[in-house]
Structure 1
Amino acid sequence: MTPDNLLRALFAKAVEVADPMQSLARALPAKPEGRVVVVGAGKASARMAEAVEAAWGPCEGLVITRYGYARPCAGIEIVEAAHPVPDAAGVAATRRMLDLLAGVGEGDFVLALISGGGSALLCAPADGITLAEKQALTQGLLASGAPIGEINGIRKEISAVKGGRLAAAAYPARMLALMISDVPGDNPGDIASGPTVGHRGDAARALAALARWGVAPAPAIRAFLEAGGDPVLPDDPRLSRVENVIYAAPAQSLAAAADLARAHGYTVEILGDALEGEAREVAGAHAALALKATGPRLILSGGELTVTKRGDGVGGPNAEYALALALALNGAPGIHAIACDTDGVDGAAEVAGAVIGPHTLARAAAAGVDPALALARNDAHTFFDKIDAQVVPGPTLTNVNDFRAILIEG
């Protein structure tokens, strides 16, 4: 197997392990008696709903997923909406979900299926805030370079459904929330901005974060935050019948990829599943590690990197990491790498990421593309498209965050 093919196989294994059709049934209890309602949101939520019906049969419910990520379900309605910037379809579906939950009672059971991407898809804003105002805020935050945890913390403060509000809407029914983690640290309150997990609320901190990242909120958002927001606290009685369970997480996918690499004769070093930071800076640090390493070795890492928008190009954190890594390695022999988002979408492009090797810069020169200029313009997707080094798996139907692997040949 060539290094390129092995790296792609490692990514495929990481995705396969997190596929709800392979993993969700183990976390699913026997179907309760009485009325059962299934709700959910995220890039994996439709696949999760499909897995639920494979185990339980047709169910009543409503799930919101990204455009192109729908799956066939017999009873659960699947609605597609926009990600990463919310749209009217997402708002309308979220309000319908809240209306559905308003009709459940104490003897009913609600199964919530939550995965990454739910922050944008489960998106009804708090009273007095418009969709257009929320869209502008989201676009500003995504371009600012702010870490995703901070972005979701702000989203949580101005939402009608995040931060435990979805679970509160289902009270007094019993709720089980099954989650796929895509966040560093695997905190249930951070996955999809915690729709089933209460939080203390910190509107002042949200305002400070907006100022720190240079994002000016609309007057209505600022006024809402200055008034203190309306948090659902962790000890709210409406959360007393909720159980939150993370059944799939990045560490499991990294472990599966590590096992496959060992089977091919590589020593594996895992840097962690929760790395954060500016993509190009992390790439520089990883290049230094790779240049000092002896092979055959594989260096794995997960987490969620960020990009500060400096130019007008098309890119995402994984492609930008790969481009910066290629520049830092400068054609070093025997070192290959892959960087991909396990949901199949790096940034807003329908591309998971890219592969690089000792040949990357030479290919760029032959194709007449300037890697340094592409990095300066945040145009990594265009760069890798021109040298035929993109990874485009299509919708993976899961989401356990970024996957990065550096292979050092012996």
Structure 2
Amino acid sequence: MKVEFDALEGDKSRRVEALEFDGTHLILKSQSDNSRKLIDLTGKRLFVAGFGKAVLAMFEGVPAELPVEEAIIIAPEAALKVSDESESLKFRYTIFFAARNNLPDENSVKATEKFVEFLKERDSAHSIFLFLISGGGSALLCSPVNGVSLEEKQATIKMLTSNGADIKQLNIVRQALSNVKGGQLLGKIQQSQAISLIISDIVGDSLEFIASGPTVIQTTQGKTAQEVIRDLNLEEKLPKNVDERVSIRREAAVHENVSNLIISSNKDFLNDLKNLLNDHNCCIVTDSITGDATEFGRELARLVMSRRVSNSWLTNLDRSSLSPSILLFGGETTVKIRGNGKGGRSQELALAFLVEILETCQTDDLKELPEFVLMAAGTDGQDGPTDADGAVLERNDIDLQKIPEILDSAKKSLENSDSYNFWSTFNEGECHLKTGLTGTNVMDAIVLSL
């Protein structure tokens, strides 16, 4: 799907905070150390190219006075209904929409072909490409290597995610199966200067893994795709062409003039959330949660119920000394599919939390629950391949007279990886969080009020 039009003069009030223009220089501002880098645009041709879940919002933030000649954008198909909100700018741009349900599709492949063509045709010693990159870019920028079909790549991604692969493992394999990921996009613009402004959706903000690192020169350090597949016990389970391709180690792309700058991350989101809650006793515990969603949900419930916890982020927290307070967590858990249900990381985490609460109530024959509110949500507004971004649960949502009934339904849903349908019906769906797409993507957020 493609939308093309001419941009007009736009409102200059909105800006990407990491980017300014003084009439001659493009000014890049680092969010981590407040350093500034000046790039002289005299005699240069400036192009904007972007992809990812946050790309439309990032695109709107490009300074209207910036001398951009032309731009090309690949945005999620689910964002089509809000694309008209993009501000008018003074240059021509083309937006492609792809990746329905956050999975690479034919529209992704076709859009990427046009994207690469755009880069190659404008590559010169006088060209500067300003890339706007965010999480979700892996599904949007899709160009399978020769010998591997889109269907085989889709099947591989599904197999990996269903078996608990984290985003780094997933992107290592994606890089091995791509003509544009893992720094390969730089090979299309060997003469040009490349500048990437990046919103991180990776624990630890590792540049080489965000959107599969299309503009990041890859090193030989770290695990190979073959090793990742072996770690997940998926040898001989993936398509034959994929098995053959991941055994080939290709040379890393080389580029003399590239800058990659992270402009936002989960840490920024949590700090903003903490500031929003400044009237409360609020604490950021970590922005690096990983591991199994079900187990972390259960651990949070054990903390609420003053039971022993083993998670390293929770062991130093004492329920009795925390109340009242609000704990903030960020990161990205994983899910291992156990049935044929529907759901996502945040919805499953919240469901596992509820199951642990109910099991404790039943075992200890509790007549009253402690105060708590839990919110588990994806910051992009889309938890897994669903239209929900998570769930919110508080003490008053649980009818103690119906614990056996609720527990039976919740356990069955958890065992079938069907958290979406559980939250759709529990309390008539009032606990199901559906905000719609947010226009950003900085992993997941968990808020626990005690």
What is the TM-score with the length of structure 1 in the denominator? Answer: 0.87
CA shift for structure 1 position 204: 7.5
Task: Tell me the equivalent position of 1:66.
Answer: 76
Q: Deviations over 1:76-114 (max 9, x none)?
A: 211111143210110111121111111221111101011
C-alpha distance in 1 between matches for 2:106 and 2:227: 28
Task: Output the amino acid matched with 2:377.
Answer: C
CA contact (8 A) 2:108 2:140 kept: yes
Shift of the 53–218 alpha-carbon distance from structure 1 to 2, 3 Å rule, reads farther
Following superposition, the deviation at residue 259 of structure 1 comes to: 2.0
Question: Which residue in the other structure is 2:5 paired with?
Answer: none
143-152 or 60-69: bigger deviation: 60-69
* 1:325-358 deviations in Å (ceiling 9; x for gaps): 1222337321111000000000010111110111
Which of residues 76, 85, 91 is equivalent to 2:109? 91
CA contact (8 A) 1:90 1:122 kept: yes
State whether residues 145 and 177 of structure 2, in contact with CA within 8 Å, keep that contact through their aligned partners in structure 1: yes
Alignment partner of 2:265 out of 249, 252, 255? 249
Distance verdict in 2 for CA 1:203–1:326, change over 3 Å: closer
Q: Give 1:151 shift.
A: 0.7
Percent identity over paired residues: 30
- What amino acid is the match of 1:227? I
Question: Is residue 170 from structure 1 mapped to residue 189 from structure 2 by the alignment?
Answer: yes
Find out whether 1:342 has 2:379 as its counterpart.
yes
Instruction: Summarize deviations over 1:96-142 as a string: whole Å, max 9, x none.
Output: 11111112211111010110001111111112221111111111112
Match of 1:258 in 2: 274
Does 2:281 match 1:267?
A: yes
- In 2: Cα distance, 1:127 partner to 1:137 partner: 16
Corresponding residue to 2:300 among 286, 303, 327: 286
Shift of 1:25: 2.1
Which residue matches 1:298? 326
Aligned 8 A contact 1:24 1:247 in 2: no
Gaps of 5+ in 2: 1-11, 27-40, 307-318, 362-368
Answer yes or no: is the 8 Å Cα contact 2:14–2:60 preserved in 1.
no
Q: Secondary structure at the match of 1:209?
A: helix
Any conservation in 1 of the 2:284–2:329 contact (CA below 8 Å)?
Answer: yes
* Contact 2:377/2:391, CA 8 A, preserved across alignment: yes
> Which moves more between the two structures, 395-404 or 74-83?
74-83
Cα distance between partner residues in 1 of 2:63 and 2:13: 13
Report the Cα distance in structure 1 between the residues aligned to 2:403 and 2:68, rounded to whole angstroms. 55
Partner Cα distance (1:329, 1:335) in 2? 11
Residue from 428, 439, 444 that aligns with 1:397: 439
Q: CA–CA distance in 2 between the matches of 1:43 and 1:247? A: 15
Which deviates more from structure 2 when the two are superposed, residues 152-161 or residues 42-51?
A: 42-51
RMSD over aligned Cα atoms:
2.4
Distance 1:397 1:214, change over 3 A: same
Match of 1:382 in 2: 421
Note closer, same or farther for the CA distance 1:260–1:202 as it changes in structure 2 (3 Å cut). Answer: closer
Correspondence for 1:352: 389
Residues 143/22 of structure 1: CA separation in 2 closer, same or farther (3 Å cut): farther
SS state of the match for residue 158, structure 2?
helix
After superposition, residues 122-137 of structure 1 pair within 5 angstroms as: 122-137=141-156
Task: Count residues with an aligned counterpart.
Answer: 381
Aligned to 2:252: 232
TM-score normalised by structure 2 residue count: 0.79
Instruction: Indicate conservation of the 8 Å contact 1:290/1:335, yes or no.
Output: yes
> Which stretch of the first structure deviates more once superposed, 207-216 or 187-196?
207-216
Which residue of the partner structure matches residue 97 of structure 2? 80
Alpha-carbon distance in 2 for matches of 1:375, 1:389: 16
Contact 1:361 1:371 in 2 (8 A): no
Within 2, Cα distance between the matches of 1:363 and 1:246? 47
After superposition, residues 79-228 of structure 1 pair within 5 angstroms as 79-82=96-99, 83-103=101-121, 104-201=123-220, 205-215=224-234, 216-228=237-249
Shift of 1:203: 10
Contact 1:326 1:360 in 2 (8 A): no
Q: 1:121 to 1:231 in 2, by over 3 A?
A: farther
Distance 2:69 2:436 in 1: 27
**4+ runs of 1 displaced by more than 4 Å?**
21-24, 201-204, 363-369
Measure, in 2, the Cα distance between the counterparts of 1:340 and 1:227: 38
Mapped contact 2:45–2:68 kept (Cα < 8 A): no
Find the residue that maps to 2:228 and give its secondary structure.
helix
Unaligned runs of 5+ in 1: 1-20
Distance in 2 between residues matched to 1:365 and 1:43, nearest whole Å: 41
Contact 1:25 1:55 in 2 (8 A): no
Going from structure 1 to structure 2, the CA distance change for 1:227 and 1:25 (only over 3 Å counts) comes to: closer
Distance between the aligned counterparts of 1:199 and 1:305, measured in 2?
A: 25
Out of 27, 35, 48, the residue aligned to residue 38 of structure 1 is 48
CA, structure 1 residues 214+314, in 2 after alignment: closer, same or farther (shift >3 Å)?
A: same
Bigger mean CA offset, 203-212 vs 118-127: 203-212
Q: In structure 1, what is the Cα distance between the partners aligned to 2:94 and 2:356?
A: 48
Contact 1:157–1:231 under 8 Å retained in 2: no
Query: What are the superposed Cα offsets for residues 198-230 of structure 1, whole Å, 9 maximum, x if unpaired?
Result: 1135898312322332432222222222232x2
Q: Shift of the alpha carbon at 1:384? A: 1.2
Partners of 2:203 and 2:332 within 8 A in 1: yes
- The 3-state SS of whatever aligns with 1:69 is helix
- Residues 22, 302 of structure 1: CA spacing in aligned structure 2 closer, same or farther, 3 A cutoff? farther
The offset of 1:378, in angstroms, is: 1.1
1:275·1:301 contact (CA, 8 Å) conserved in 2? yes
